[in-house]
Amino acid sequence: MNKPDFSELKAVYINCTLKKSPAQSHTAGLMEVSRRIMEAEGVKTKLLRLVDYEIAPGVQPDMTKEDQSIKKDDWPEIYKKVIEADILVIGTPIWLGERSSVATQLVERLYAMSAKQNEKGQYVYYGKVGGCVITGNEDGIKHCAMGLLYAMQHIGYSIPPQADCGWIGAVGPGPSYGDTEWKGEKISPPVGFDTEFTNRNTTFMTYNLMHLAIMLKTQGGYPAYGNSRKAWDEGSRWDFESPEYR
């Protein structure tokens, strides 16, 4: 089996924890497993916590230009990192069965840029690949992943097979992913580290993201035939009255 060369890829991991650095983020712990795999394969990665930045609410590219009461918006800075990357991985904890409010804000701000176009006249996220990492102490991994992955594909990201992974503890209060102590008692190995299902899914997700990203990068993304907004606006459209269509 030939080993693929992933060294031309870039990935950005955005952790949507509610905790600012340097507080421990359990979601960051599982994201780090995936990130280390990518780094070992030569992918250049960045890991960000959205709450460490001042992100204004809204669905415009720069909210300081839309609302004079907003004096600072770090989203344009984050967007530069996102658009430079071939892969975007969104991480979120589960709260009341849902993704975090920070994850929703990230989706809103990603959506704010989705009308932009690439050099082919396609929507700007075409040719990029997305996945997600979910952690918590209650059910909801698939529910949260469903919403995130739908949103990402809707704005143009490509989603490979098994594009999500996660870990949840028992229902109710208890140790979270990566914890080494609970109620004064030491835990070894750290919680979740030896969970085969999580480790397998995290590994498969990570490699599927890289495989799809390198395929798209090698062929220059998607062909612009039939999906270019620029061509559509210029009048190059399918003739819905043609015999071929009927």
pLDDT tens per residue, range 1-29: 788 999 999 999 999 999 999 999 999 99
**Residue 43 included in any domain:** yes
What amino acid occupies position 38? M
**Residue 3 included in any domain:** no
Question: In total, how many domains does the chain have?
Answer: 1
pTM check: above 0.75: yes
Q: What is the CATH number of the domain that holds 195?
A: 3.40.50.360
Mean per-residue pLDDT, 204-232: 96
- The bridge status of strand 10-15 relative to strand 87-95 is parallel
**Residue 171 included in any domain:** yes
**Residue 20 included in any domain:** yes
pLDDT of residue 25: 96
**Residue 238 included in any domain:** no
- Confidence band (pLDDT; 50, 70, 90) for 147? very high
What CA–CA distance (Å, rounded) separates 139 from 147?
Answer: 15
Closest C-alpha among 134, 133, 128 to residue 160: 128
What CA–CA distance (Å, rounded) separates 164 from 110?
Answer: 19
Task: Give CA separation, 153 vs 9, 10, 38, 41, 142, in Å.
Answer: 20, 19, 22, 25, 16
In this structure, what DSSP letter does residue 20 have? P
Computed over every residue of the chain, the mean pLDDT equals 94
**Residue 246 included in any domain:** no
Domain, as residue range, for 16: 10-233
pLDDT digits (tens, 9 = 90+) for 165-213: 999 998 888 899 999 999 999 999 999 999 999 999 999 999 999 999 9
